[in-house]
Amino acid sequence: MTNGDRIPPDPEFVQLLDPDGERVEHPDYSVEFTPDEYRGLYRDLVIIRKLDAEATALQRQGELGIWASLLGQEAAQVGAGRALRPQDMAFPTYREHGILHCRGIDPIMPLGLFRGVDQGAWDSQKHKVHMYTIVIGAQTLHATGYAMGITMDGKVGTEDGEAVIAFFGDGATAQGDVNESFVWASVFNAPVVFFCQNNQYAISEPLERQTRVPLFKRASGFGFPGIRVDGNDVLATYAVTKQALDNARLGQGPTMVEAYTYRMGAHTTSDDPTRYRAGSEVEAWRDKDPIKRMRIFLTKAGIADDDFFTQVDDDAAKQAVELRERVLALPDPGPLSIFDNVYPGGSPLLDEQRAQQERYLASFEGGH
C-alpha cells in the first residue's frame, strides 16, 4: 500500500505559495513582508538545511552518536519559528533545529547534545526554548502545564500576552501524552499551539496506519480548532501559526496546526527509509521542495537575484565549515560533570556521591 490510499494526496490546506513558486491567495490568511523579511526567510531555510546536512555528515564520520535530520521540513520550522514573539515559549522534539536557529540559539548546541558531551546546554529561560525531548509527545504535556501556569500568572489575555507552542510529529498523535494534553489544554483553555509536523512517517509507519481521519480534524473532538497548512510553504505556515499564537495570547485557548510536510531523509541516522518507502514517493515530494518554490517566487517578484542566492549559499557553506571545526574541538566532559545541574544549590547526598566518585577516579594511574 502506498502512502495516501486513505488520506487524500492533495489535502485541503492553507497555501500561500504553491510548489511552482506562485503566490496564491487565501480568504483567511495573508502575509505582509518587506523584501528584507522575505530574503531573511529564504536565508533561514538555506542555512538550516546546510547545517543539517553537515551534522548528518559528521555522524557518518563518527563525530556524532546520532542525528535526526530536518531535511524537507525547513519551511514548517522556519514558518513557526519566525511567528513566535520573544515572550513566547517553545517545547521542541529532538528535530527542531530550525526552531533553535530562529530563537537565536548557537547551532552547535544540538550537535553537542548528539555528540554526547552535554545534555542540551542552551539557556532555556533566555531563549525560551525548552530542552529537546526524546520521549515521544511528552513535551506536549510540559507545554500544556506551562501554558496553564502563565495563565495563572496573569500573563495571558492582552495583545502583548504570552503564548506557548508545542512541537510534535504525526507519530506522536497516537501517544497518550498528546491526547491527554489536548484534553487539559481544551478544558483549561490553555494558551498553547499544538504544532504537528506531519512528515508522513512515524519512523517506518506510514500515516494511513496511524489515523483514519486527517490529523487536524482530531482537534474538534477535543473542543478546539484544528487547521492544516502546507508545511512546505513558509509563508502559509508563518501566517497560520501567527494567527494561532495570537489567539492563544489573547486568551482564546488552544489551536492545533497540522503542517503537512515530508521527511526527505531518514528518521535518524540509524534508519534506512528505502526499506519502507518507494523512491517514486520521495521524488514526488522533491517537486514540492520548500526552498525551490521560495527561490522561484523571490526571483519572479524581483526581490532577490542570483547574486543574493550565491551569497546565501556561500554564507551557509562557511557556517557549515565553522560548525564542523567547532564540533571537532568540543572538549569531552569531565566525568564529574554528571553531578552538575542536578539540584540548584546542591544536595548533601549528591555531594557525598560526588566526593566518593572523585576519590575513586583519583585511584587510577594518570588521574582522570
Residues near another protein (CB under 8 A) are 54, 57, 59-63, 65-66, 203, 266, 268-272, 274-278, 362-366
Alpha carbon distance 350, 219 (integer Å): 44
- Give exposure, 271-306, as e/b (b: 16+ Cβ within 10 Å): bebeeebeeebbeebeebbbbbbbbbbbeeeebbee
Alpha carbon distance 228, 237 (integer Å): 9
Measured from the CB atom, the residue of 301 and 361 that comes closer to another protein is 361
Determine the distance from the C-alpha atom of residue 44 to the mean position of all C-alpha atoms in its chain, rounded to a whole number: 13
Measured from the CB atom, the residue of 65 and 251 that comes closer to another protein is 65
Give min distance, CB of 59 to another protein, in A: 8
Measured from the CB atom, the residue of 54 and 230 that comes closer to another protein is 54
Q: Which amino acid is at 17?
A: L
Whether 85 is catalytic: no
Residue of 276, 286, 343, 360 with catalytic role: 276
Half-sphere exposure in the Cβ direction for 93 (13 Å, CA): 22
Alpha carbon distance 110, 131 (integer Å): 10
Residue of 127, 142, 228, 263 with catalytic role: 263
Comparing C-alpha atoms, which of 171, 182, 179 is closest to residue 225?
182
Angle at 63 between CA 60 and CA 66, to 5 degrees: 65
Give min distance, CB of 321 to another protein, in A: 8
Distances (CA, A) of 347 to 121, 288, 341: 21, 53, 11
Measured from the CB atom, the residue of 162 and 271 that comes closer to another protein is 271
Residue of 82, 103, 267, 295 with catalytic role: 267
Give min distance, CB of 270 to another protein, in A: 4
46 exposure class (CB count in 10 Å sphere: 0-12, 13-18, 19+): buried
Whether 263 is catalytic: yes
Measured from the CB atom, the residue of 53 and 291 that comes closer to another protein is 53
Give min distance, CB of 324 to another protein, in A: 8
Give min distance, CB of 282 to another protein, in A: 12
Give min distance, CB of 274 to another protein, in A: 6
Measured from the CB atom, the residue of 23 and 277 that comes closer to another protein is 277
146's CB contacts (< 8 A; 6+ apart) are: 89, 91, 164, 192
Residue ranges in 71-170 assigned as alpha helix (H): 74-83, 97-102, 108-115, 124-127, 138-152
Alpha carbon distance 120, 24 (integer Å): 40
Whether 267 is catalytic: yes
Give min distance, CB of 212 to another protein, in A: 19
Measured from the CB atom, the residue of 61 and 341 that comes closer to another protein is 61
DSSP per residue, 154-210: T--SSTT---EEEEEETGGGGSHHHHHHHHHHHHTT--EEEEEEE-SEETTEEGGGT
Q: Just list the catalytic residues.
A: 263, 267, 276
